[in-house]
Structure 1
Amino acid sequence: MKIEIWSDIMCPFCYIGKRNFEAALSQFANKEQVDVEWKSFQLDPTIPEVPKYQDNMYMFVADRKGFSYEQSKKMHQDLIQYAKSVGLEYNFDKALVTNSLKGHRLIQFAKTKGLGEKAEERLFYAYFTQGKNLSDVATLIKLGKEISLTETEVNEALTNSLYVQKVESDSKDAQTLGARGVPFFVINRKYAIAGAQQPNEILKTLEKAFSEWQKENPNALEIQDGQVCEPNGNCK
């Protein structure tokens, strides 16, 4: 069963949504038959790499949304508490606002190596918890190495226009499917979950979708694992 997840690595509800999805998947009896693919969605491609109030998230949001500083800070404090409820630590006091394109390019390349989820998780943590600048090439090289990419591979992600095209293609695909924002979860191109919904609600949709998918794919095998030799020569 295929699950596609659109998100922006600078979207606070996307990181929370990832945790809620993981909690639901951990309770899903057929999780071994689920294929998850992370997709790119830039909420605001117009943000410059060094925007006004880059090192002041509260002022940045207040300025762009027409809020007061106090309203912005209260909104972010509420987000901090929401994040804590799912085991995440948001440090908006040191967050550095920037354009998310370079981060998405890195994720797109990581997907070609089977490292899409690892890249997504590492960049979320770097932005929301550590206050890393996700437009800084040296920072992205360091983060890439932490998920087993080489410096050459990170540079390839950041210079080859193919990965910009993949980011743009993902965003257009989401809009075609009816996404008005992120996170946006699509199951078998038949069911969609919009927003960071609670794990129990996600689980209900997973179970419903899987039941239908299983009926449509009667030849899907239930595999009991044992010791095997794999094509790469590993025997375990």
Structure 2
Amino acid sequence: MLVEVWSDFVCPWCYIGKRRLEAALTRFDHARDVEILWRSYQLDPTVPPGADGLVRDHLARKLGATAEQVRAMNDRVASLAAAEGLEYHLERAHIANTFDAHRVAHLAREHHLGPQAHERFMRAHLVETEHLADPETVIRLAAEVGVPADEVRRVLAGDDHADDVRAEIDLARQFGAGGVPFFVLGRTHGVSGAQPVETFLAALEDAYGLAVARIS
């Protein structure tokens, strides 16, 4: 059964949702029959390419919030992430237009390293506070999971996989996704947001049961 996940590397809820889905799979009897496909989405495509700065300052401007309000919001998300074994450092996270990083993730998929690249980019931004808009950083991170650095440079120097990224974002909209994380299980069940493990487990069981019934 195919589970498609739309997420963005800079989305703190996406990493939490990823961990909760993974936890649900450890309790799912047919987990070995599940293939996960990480699809592209941009949480904030309005961030200019190559822009830098702190996410906390960007959020304060975008939301019209005070520094204290942003800090409280980030602390709450970080606390939920910690419960999933993730040590966020959102106060030091850099803003980034992730379009190019998603193009590289598509290259990683060609090398059968899509899940590894997705995990590496998320951890880099949310835990290690790496700057995903910096080409050299993206090249290094992709190489760490086995994507050839020369191929990453070639992709970043051109427009390879740009249409692939746009197509996946459009597909998310066709499914009705208004944000991420967004999960589609077997093309029959959808889960929006970083839901509890029990919600993912129930969706997996329902979608799998329907898939088996269709085959039968």
Which residue of structure 2 lines up, in the alignment, with residue 18 of structure 1?
A: 18
1:203 corresponds to = 201
What's the Cα RMSD here? 1.2
Query: Does the aligned pair in 1 maintain the 2:2–2:36 contact within 8 Å?
Result: yes
8 Å Cα contact 1:55/1:94 also seen in 2? no
Q: Distance in 1 between matches of 2:185 and 2:111?
A: 23
Match of 2:192 in 1: 194
Within 5 Å, give how 1:76-225 maps onto structure 2. Answer: 76-218=74-216
Q: Deviations over 1:209-233 (max 9, x none)?
A: 1011011123xxxxxxxxxxxxxxx
User: Secondary structure at the residue paired with 2:45?
Assistant: coil
State the one-letter code of the partner of 1:95.
Answer: A
Give me the TM-score of the superposition, normalised by structure 2: 0.96
| Structure 2 runs not aligned, ≥5 long | none
1:137-167 alpha-carbon deviations (Å, 9 max, x no partner): 1111111111011111211332342311111
Aligned to 1:9: 9
One-letter code aligned to 2:67: Y
- Calculate the TM-score normalised by the size of structure 1: 0.88
Q: 2:60 aligns to what?
A: 62
Contact kept, 8 Å, 1:50 with 1:97, in 2: the verdict is: no
Match of 2:41 in 1: 41
What are the ranges of 5 or more consecutive residues in structure 1 without an aligned counterpart? 219-236
Q: Which amino acid aligns with 2:15?
A: Y
Higher helix share: 2
Work out the CA distance in 1 between the residues paired with 2:4 and 2:154.
Answer: 25
Asked if 2 retains the 8 angstrom alpha-carbon contact of 1:99 and 1:135, the reply is yes
Structure 2 distance, partners of 1:159, 1:190, is 38
Distance in 1, matches of 2:62 and 2:189, equals 33
CA displacement at 1:50 relative to structure 2: 4.6
Q: Percent sequence identity over matched residues?
A: 35
